Structure 1
Amino acid sequence: MKKNLGLKELVAIAVGGMVGGGIFTILGISVSIVGFLAPFAIALGGLIAFFAAYSYVKLGTYYQDEGATYAFFKRTYPNSHIAASFIGWYTVFGYISTLALYAYTFSSYSISGFEFANSELVRKSVAVGIIWVFAWVNLWSVRGMGKIEDLLVYTKLIILLLISVSLIYFGKTDLHTFSQTLLNDIDRSSIGSILIVASITFVAYEGFQLVINAVNDMEDPQTNIPKAIYTAVVLVALIYFIIAIGAVLAIPAEDLIRNKEYALASGAQEIMGHWGRDLVIFGAILATSSAISGTMFGSSRQMARIADDGYLPHRLANRKLTIPDNAIITMAMTATVLIIIGGLRLILEFGSITFLLVSLLMAIANFKIRKATHSSTLFTLTAITGLTVGTVLILYYEYITKPEQLFFIMGIYALLSLGAWAYARLRS
């Protein structure tokens, strides 16, 4: 069978999955914690993501299994049905929650210029609609999805870089003021607060592993998996850093904190007029569109792989050629339910914690078979340490800022654990 995805499409899938709504939501939180150090803390989050990606690359080229996260853990610990079922359920639901978030962010930006922008019914209706648009695209054709993802992602990158350059050019903060403020923020910020921002930022880098889900559709996995993942992580970290620098130079810190996910759009309008705001909105729409498409492509294949092993309903393993049609439809339906019932911010926090934990488990699995994957012991231990610290810090941040949100997340884990346990019992 002809392989439909080359390196260009694979980089697009990874970047599309990573650059979603994250960069539009993390700026305000980051600046509120560490001020002008935010761009550097966000870049540090990229470094954590790079070390996490190392284990995925090594495991991906060794196993070459589209089940990715789930399959790697299952094959590294083949005698544990409980471990396989739990990581499968957690990973899939993490992806579904990010799908819902991306769709909601898409909706918020796409209707922002209309009178009904504050209507929750309209916002949720548009979010549900865009989920099903990209479900249809993924059901239609792998090659068609790849070409659309190329167009969305590479156009998005140009727009985001244009936004960054414009913010820096029109910014009212000169370099002397920036350096003085930066020094003040260094004095008042602790290492712990910088690491907390880096940990929160990790969710904005989630998505690079989607490349591995396309292993059955890609050319030369041994070469293209590492090239695509490393290229995407470095590229996205650079883009985030430039956007963050532009934002803190051009937009007052109080505005970044107050306006949250609309900070870039409102700040661009203040300094560049309506066309600046429109440019940011267009960039946000492209960013969330490609993230929905890329995430649905990769995560539906992982869901099908888990179902094929008996840890989810077997119907979800059904395929037409290489397209897991029932898994795509199920993911779209579940994301629709999440959008309708609301609470997406809570689910987003669940997703960020989940992907830190899952990445930590991947690093541990890679350490176990490091000789087989030809992995560096130092790199792997560094990844384990960084991801452990990140997981502890984000839990601590949730506890001290929104303990009720942490309890809700624990409730979601309890429900998922019950389902995973039941299927593990059936499988064994």
Structure 2
Amino acid sequence: MSVIRKRNKDLGLLELVAIALGGMVGGGIFTVLGISVSMIGNLTPIALIIGGLIALLAAYSYVKLGLYYKDEGATYSFFKRTYPDSHFSASIIGWFIIFGYISTLALYSFTFSSYALSAFGFGDVIWARKAAAIFILGVFTLINVWSVNGMGKIEDIMVYTKLVILVAISFVLIQYGEVDFNTFLQNMAVDYKNSTVLSVLIVASVTFVSYEGFQLVINAVNEMTDPDRNIPRAIYLAIFLAIIIYLVIATGALFSITPQEIVKNKEYALAIGAKNAIGKLGSNLVVLGAVLATSSAISGTVFGSSRQVAVIATDGYFPKWLSIRKDSIPKNAIYAMTLTASFLIVIGGLELILEFGSITFLLVSLLMAIANYKIKEKTKASTFATSTAILGLACGGILILYYEFTHNWEQMSFIIVLYVILGLGAWLFAKRHEKKTIKTID
């Protein structure tokens, strides 16, 4: 006889939007800004809008599947339940998506430490940054283990504070920047002539990683109030807000900082622009906003992905001890993800792992769209919308792979090797689970 545990319904719309924005508006936008400007200059805002539209295409299937299954396993559970006869399919998508989350945890933590230590003389010492990154991971591990409601309230404060700071600084840069609106439009026209549609679409695909995180809402289905209303509202609202925020940040940077400075300084470009416009106070506020951005991204990712780990472990595709919960919180899964991310921080190579994460999330979203199409009668999904999502996400995946192969084939080779290693682990657990299933039937 199974024991049905009563879950606390502590998370409302504000908390859910905060979780999604916490996962999206992390360190990604600062890095993507430099890459985008180096490729297409002042057309960056257009690429960000297209990237947001790709995210909306991905979100459509997540929302439909989320409302139909109402399963906190989200990506993994949706695919497993749509294709119930393939143990390997369930195992491999679980391994890929969780390792993608672990890689982003490592990146967010390292980005946090880079900003947090930037004002100190030892800020450039690599081991100081790594120590600070592991420390902040530990802090948010304890917060998530402590309380679901406590995590939600802290996430609210961090997310909405960082949004106010970043948006306010961006408007100041637009107001006091050396470039006026007409000049900005003229610069866009020049860049349009010098760029290609393919370049804009490649950048839009690359920016998808900046929108990754909205699916974390579904991981909280057992802790949220009124899932039927709050899942779609939280996801679509979060993506819309992220598009607006990214547009304001990018425009503010382009109004006050030359493209050369943005490319050279990348994630620190906004801080430099703020310092030029309103002095050291502006730079400090940007650093504060970036620290809050990465902090909320860490917290939201730990919260959502740990619940997926627990679900996958319960099904036998991860070690069983990862499925253990206490007070409905998957504490072992949280500890395991934190330790693995800390290991990645220690050994380095975070940029390579990040590229793996960005490709993984885009391709996994494609698989979700295909799954949604397969059962579109059950999820009541639009054939046109689902087909458009499949086409758009497939094109985005092809473009980002093309970009990696043509710009850094060594990095792409490493990613392929990583896929092979994870695939082997997924295969071994799938075979073990299949044998146990056969024995149970016998």
The TM-score, its normalising length taken from structure 1, stands at 0.99
Question: Can you list the C-alpha shifts for 1:177-206, whole angstroms capped at 9, x where unaligned?
Answer: 111111111112111100111011000000
Partner of 2:33: 27
In structure 2, the residue corresponding to 1:115 is in which secondary structure?
coil
- 1:332 equivalent in structure 2: 338
Following superposition, the deviation at residue 66 of structure 1 comes to 0.2
2:130 matched residue in structure 1: 124
The question of 1:394 aligning with 2:400 is answered: yes
* 1:215 paired residue number: 221
1:353 corresponds to: 359
The Cα shift of 1:270 comes to: 2.2
Quote the residue 2:57 is aligned against.
51
CA contact (8 A) 1:251 1:267 kept: yes
Runs of 4+ in 1 over 6 A off after TM superposition: none
Give the residue type in structure 1 aligned to 2:428: A
Matched, 1:317 2:323: yes
Q: Which amino acid aligns with 1:188?
A: N
Deviations 1:116-158 (A, max 9, x none): 0110010000000000100000000001001100111111111
2:17 is the counterpart of 1:11: yes
Unaligned runs of 5+ in 1: none
| Residues in 1 aligned to 2:400 and 2:269: alpha-carbon distance in whole angstroms | 23
Q: Deviation at 1:176? A: 2.1
CA distance in 2, matches of 1:262, 1:175: 23
How far has the Cα of 1:14 moved from its partner?
A: 0.6
Distance in 2, matches of 1:39 and 1:180, equals 14
- In the alignment, does 2:412 pair up with 1:406? yes
Is 2:384 the counterpart of 1:378? yes
- C-alpha separation in 1, matches of 2:417 and 2:280: 43
Work out which of the residue numbers 298, 304, 315 in structure 2 matches 1:298: 304
The answer to whether the Cα contact below 8 Å between 1:269 and 1:277 also exists between their aligned partners in 2 is: yes
Contact 1:213 1:301 in 2 (8 A): yes
Q: Return the letter of the residue paired with 1:281.
A: V
What do residues 85-139 of structure 1 show as CA deviations (whole Å, max 9, x unaligned)? 0000000000000000000000000000100011001000000000010000000
1:148 to 132, 154, 165: 154
d(CA) in 2 for partners of 1:266 and 1:168?
A: 14
SS in 2 for 1:116: coil
Question: 2:246 & 2:228 partners in 1: Cα distance?
Answer: 28
Q: Distance in 2 between matches of 1:383 and 1:241?
A: 23
Q: Which amino acid aligns with 1:357?
A: L
1:89 to 91, 95, 119: 95
2:437 — aligned with what?
A: none
2: distance between equivalents of 1:382 and 1:265?
Answer: 38
CA distance in 1, matches of 2:233, 2:184: 36
Partners of 1:300 and 1:327 within 8 A in 2: yes
Distance in 2, Cα, partners of 1:198 & 1:56 = 20
- Asked whether the 8 Å contact 1:172–1:250 carries over to 2, the reply is yes
Q: 1:175 and 2:175 equivalent? A: no
* 1:275 maps onto 2:281 in alignment: yes
Partner AA of 1:124 in structure 2: K
CA separation in 2, counterparts of 1:26 and 1:43?
Answer: 13
C-alpha deviation, 1:23, in angstroms: 1.1
Q: Secondary structure at 1:208's aligned position in 2?
A: coil
Partners of 1:294 and 1:179 in 2: how far apart? 37
Structure 1 segment 99-248 matched on structure 2, within 5 A: 99-248=105-254
Residues 30-58 of structure 1: CA deviation (Å, up to 9, x unaligned): 01111100011011100100110000000
Query: 1:255 touches 1:267 (CA, 8 Å); kept in 2?
Result: no
Quote the offset at 1:60 in angstroms.
0.2
Counterparts of residues 30-41 of structure 1 (less than 5 Å): 30-41=36-47
1:222 shift after superposition = 0.9
Distance 2:182 2:62 in 1: 41
Match of 2:292 among 283, 286, 310: 286
Tell me the distance in 2 between the aligned counterparts of 1:261 and 1:156. 16
Shift of 1:403: 0.8
Consecutive unaligned residues of structure 2, counting only runs of 5 or more, are 1-5, 435-442
Residue identity opposite 2:98 in structure 1 = V
Conserved? CA contact 1:107–1:127, under 8 Å: yes
The whole-number CA distance in structure 2 between the counterparts of 1:344 and 1:260 is 16
Cα shift readout 1:188-241 (whole Å, capped 9, x = no counterpart): 211110011101100000000000000111111111100100000000111001
When normalised by structure 2's length, the TM-score is: 0.96
- Residue 440 of structure 2 corresponds to none
The aligned length equals: 428
Distance between the aligned counterparts of 2:382 and 2:247, measured in 1?
28
Q: Between the two proteins, what is the percent identity of the paired residues?
A: 61
Provide the C-alpha distance between the structure 2 equivalents of 1:201 and 1:190, rounded to a whole number of angstroms.
17
Alpha-carbon distance, 1:163 to partner: 1.4
Secondary structure in 1 matching 2:178: coil
Residue aligned with 2:345, SS: helix
Counterpart of 1:399, as a letter, is F
**CA offsets, 1:351-391, max 9 Å, x none?**
00000010000000000011110111111111111111111
**In structure 1, C-alpha distance between the alignment counterparts of 2:427 and 2:276, rounded to whole Å:** 53
Which whole-Å CA distance do the structure 1 matches of 2:79 and 2:430 have between them?
A: 15
